[in-house]
Structure 1
């Protein structure tokens, strides 16, 4: 019949990205923060060694938080990091949920009876 020729793999470095469940978790938090009036804009960056999700109060400012995924640190400090506006690492870990916990605490409100 015919000969199947395999498609060549790209020679350059691969790009780091969020998988579907990670992005769903991040966008869920983003949507709740927008509804609460804290954030108004976001940016996503996919590089060869890091994937980053930046959250802005206003579009013309520095990001209030950056959520970064660095797979190279997966066996050391953890591949997830929450970085504040000044560039300081606020939380680092192996799982996304605990890293997002400080931001989720901002959404908690005391309800009077």
Structure 2
């Protein structure tokens, strides 16, 4: 404990300010939006089912400053067939979760991920 205080005093005497690195990171670069574990479980459950049926083959997860995106691909080199997005800024409005197709059209939006993910149950029934 004494080393820390000595170093802090030395830095202050030299005209420097000691800042905790974690505080600096939080103030400078806010944490990106991410899916929580339970949300990822719901998404991966549907993804696994669709992979088993041969509909989807690959996925990507992006954690951006304003939203988190889970993209699913029919083939690895293509554009994503669907993106499942979490945008906390829309939580009080239309709902934080949405499913978007390749053209950028919002196919389903809601406050609860489980309800939004039911969209893929209907897609499966339409293709059968």
Task: Report the Cα distance in structure 1 between the residues aligned to 2:44 and 2:22, rounded to whole angstroms.
Answer: 34
> Which entry has the higher C-alpha Rg, 1 or 2?
2
Per-residue deviation at 1:7? 5.8
Per-residue deviation at 1:108? 4.4
Equivalent position to 2:73, from 41, 47, 56: 56
| TM-score scaled by length of structure 2 | 0.77
* Residue 85 of structure 2 corresponds to residue 68 of structure 1: yes
Q: Across the two proteins, how many residue pairs are aligned to each other?
A: 108
Q: Secondary structure of 2:115's partner?
A: helix
Deviating above 4 A after TM superposition, structure 1's stretches of 4 or more consecutive aligned residues are: 3-7
Task: Report the Cα distance in structure 2 between the residues aligned to 1:91 and 1:49, rounded to whole angstroms.
Answer: 19
Alignment gaps of 5+ in structure 1: none
More helix by share: 2
